[in-house]
Amino acid sequence: MPYVILEESPHFTSSERMAKTEASKAAGGRSLSPMRFMQLALATTVLFSLAYMYQFVSVSVTLRSEADSEDEDGGIVRNRVLGHSVLHLQGFEAGHKFVSEYDVESQGPLYILLMSDADEDGKYWCPDCERAKKPVMDAFKRAPRGSRLAEIRVGPVAYWADYMNEFRQNQLFYIDHIPTLMRYEGGGNSSTMLTESFCTDPALLDYVFKVNKPLAGEPKKNKVLTMHTPGEVTDYLGTYDNSYPLFLFFVSGYHDFNGRLWCPYCDRADVTVMHNFNYTAPDNAVMVRVVVSATYKGWKKKLNVFKQPEFQEKVAPVRGVPFLGFVKKDVPANKINVHQFMPDYPETNKLQTFFKNKPRTARPN
């Protein structure tokens, strides 16, 4: 254990000086009883401890204050009060090595933030990264104690523009956009990915960082069912009677190598769709999440079960994923009508309107 050498501080209080004076008089004037000596020693120790704690706490009130510790080698910035740390890593090699060797079980929660390079003033060349910087850091301050954020900078414009660069091709990161924020699950797996404008949404950021008291409050009591076959879907729809809002969300399966959705468009839309359903759809609403195929190869086959005429005609003409729809049923005719959400998923206001059982921007299929 390292030694700490304490010198007399000019900031000692008058009570500290009195304690020291009293101890000196007692030692010089008359002998101290063991009990008296222990009392004086304890009082002095307490005063020194309080003085040290005051200096420690007074400079540790913000995430990136002047007193935050920073390691020259790794660029780690720690917040002593919140128990957070931010690590800045330059380039693919440094980022890949750090994440690959990270043990979530023993080292705590890790979040990966992929950003562009920045100039000497800290300004990113990527405008979306510059816009995301403050919202991400503000949300990270609300993350549970012990969380760690690894910001990995992907390099200059020319390198990032090359579609064969390692960040786009390597299975650990496998990204197409910056900024990208995701939760690292360990073992090369990650989840809950946010990209571009989604990285400025406080509600989505709170979800990714597992904030205990999110700004959005508590979610609704609606529920999600996951299905994998056309038979499961048609059987469920056969009993549907329009008594509650029903949504269908067709998505891909997951990569074996990183745990994320193999469809990059599904991966990008997943968090915002699920979060906004949980927070805006009525309490009695149900979402049926339909996984169309475990692999991309299986989805591209003409014989994929969800592409067959029977399902396409009876349920919905799902030509691609993600596909989000609102179900209305003609009960006497036993006919399903699915109104597809047509805007882009970053249009959060329209997505929330859709989930509030008011699909004004939807069109029937």
Q: Does 162 lie in the same domain as 237?
A: no
DSSP summary character for residue 101? H
Tell me: pLDDT of 64 over 80. Answer: no
Length of the chain as a residue count? 365
Domain that holds residue 120: 69-208
Tokens read off for 137: 């850091």
The reply to whether 32 falls in a domain is yes
The reply to whether 214 falls in a domain is no
Tell me: pLDDT of 73 over 80. Answer: no
Number of domains the chain contains? 3
Mean pLDDT computed over 265-294: 98
Domain CATH code at residue 232: 3.40.30.10
d(CA 320, CA 162): 27
Mean pLDDT computed over 337-353: 96
The DSSP result for 49-82, as a single string, is: HHHHHHHHHHT-SSTT-TTSEE-TTT-EEEETTT
Tell me: pLDDT of 181 over 90. Answer: yes
Amino acid type, 76? I
Question: What's the whole-model pTM score?
Answer: 0.78
Taking all residues of the chain, what is their mean pLDDT, rounded to a whole number?
Answer: 85
What's the pLDDT at 345?
A: 97
Tell me: pLDDT of 362 over 70. Answer: no
What's the pLDDT at 347?
A: 97
Q: Does 128 lie in the same domain as 169?
A: yes
Residues 6+ apart with CB under 8 A from 365: 316, 317, 325, 337, 338, 339, 340
Mean pLDDT computed over 260-283: 98
The reply to whether 158 falls in a domain is yes
Q: Does 251 lie in the same domain as 200?
A: no
Q: Does 239 lie in the same domain as 189?
A: no
d(CA 133, CA 126): 11
In terms of Cβ atoms closer than 10 Å to its own Cβ (0-12, 13-18, 19+), residue 330 is exposed
Tokens read off for 122: 């800290």
CA angle 5, 10, 13 (to 5 degrees): 105
